Amino acid sequence: MSYHLTLAETETSLRKVARACGLDWGLAEEAGKAARWLAAFNLPGPETMLAHLQELAGKDYRAFMPQSSAQPWHASGGLLCPIITGAALADRSAQMLDGKVFTLGPTAYPLLLAATVGQAARCHQTVFTTAWAGVRVSCFENGLSIEGNRDDLLLTRVDAVSCQQDDLSSPQQLPSTMAYAIDEEIVKHIEEFAFKIYAPATEASRAGAGAGLTDND
């Protein structure tokens, strides 16, 4: 059954899922923003993010981090995490603004990487384009455009990705939405994962929290 997830709910829930799957808070924040950004353009950000994070859960995510000394970037574990790598690229946006093109080796869910880097495009009011297989995803301040083969958008892993500043002056914008239609079963799944960052109640927490009374006056 279809369900409408608001953008605020998307960001909050996926941030929690990322944390539950072991990412540090700062990276979990990036995951929430990226999922929200994609959902805003009716792209399956929440579902893709959930799938990726589930694969990451319980593993040492440092094995998915880029070794940035030489291009193309690689992860010691073989596959780059799009959130960690996307954040590292966003942190290097000044270099992209200077014309540097970053190249990556094997990468999981490149759409998530494009969205994570895209957050920096918004702040710089520029366009960052991420390309893989037959598709190019460009993020600019308030929009996102896709060129090429849309079938490649949702690839779960690719062997090569590039990321650079672009000079698209009027990219074709996708229609944006404020409430993302999503399968209710997937929402339940997201909520189950998000719930894992909540602390189970204890006697002490029950006694000490908020209003200790049934207050009726």
Q: Which segment (1-9, 110-118, 148-156, 160-168) binds other proteins by CB under 8 A?
A: 1-9
**58 touching other proteins, by CB under 8 A:** no
CB of 47 to other proteins, least distance (A): 19
**198 touching other proteins, by CB under 8 A:** yes
Choose, by CB under 8 A, the member of 8, 63, 101, 181 that binds other proteins.
Answer: 8
Residues 142-181 that bind other proteins (CB under 8 A): 178-179
Choose, by CB under 8 A, the member of 14, 17, 21, 29 that binds other proteins.
Answer: 29
> Do the beta carbons of residue 112 and residue 86 sit within 8 Å?
yes
Q: Exposed/middle/buried for 76, CB within 10 Å: 0-12, 13-18, 19+?
A: exposed
One character per residue 106-125, x = contact with other proteins (rule: CB under 8 A): -------------xx-xx--
Structure tokens that stand for 119 in this block: 């957050």
170 or 214: CB nearest other proteins: 214
CB of 202 to other proteins, least distance (A): 6
**91 touching other proteins, by CB under 8 A:** yes
CB of 62 to other proteins, least distance (A): 8
Structure tokens that stand for 158 in this block: 């690719």
> Do the beta carbons of residue 16 and residue 190 sit within 8 Å?
no
Distance (Å, whole) CA 70 – CA 15: 30
**Sign of the alpha-carbon dihedral angle for 13, 19, 23, 26:** positive
Q: Please count the residues of this chain forming the interface with other proteins, following the rule CB under 8 A.
A: 51
Which residues, in sequence order, are CB contacts of 150 under 8 Å at separation 6+? Answer: 135
**197 touching other proteins, by CB under 8 A:** yes
> Do the beta carbons of residue 63 and residue 74 sit within 8 Å?
no
Distance (Å, whole) CA 175 – CA 54: 29
135 or 187: CB nearest other proteins: 187
DSSP bridge partners of 182 = 3
**26 touching other proteins, by CB under 8 A:** yes
Category of 105 on φ-ψ map: left (φ > 0), alpha (ψ -120 to 50) or beta: beta
Residues that bind other proteins (CB under 8 A): 4, 6-9, 23-27, 29-30, 33, 65-66, 68, 84, 87-88, 90-95, 119-120, 122-123, 178-179, 195, 197-202, 204-206, 208-217
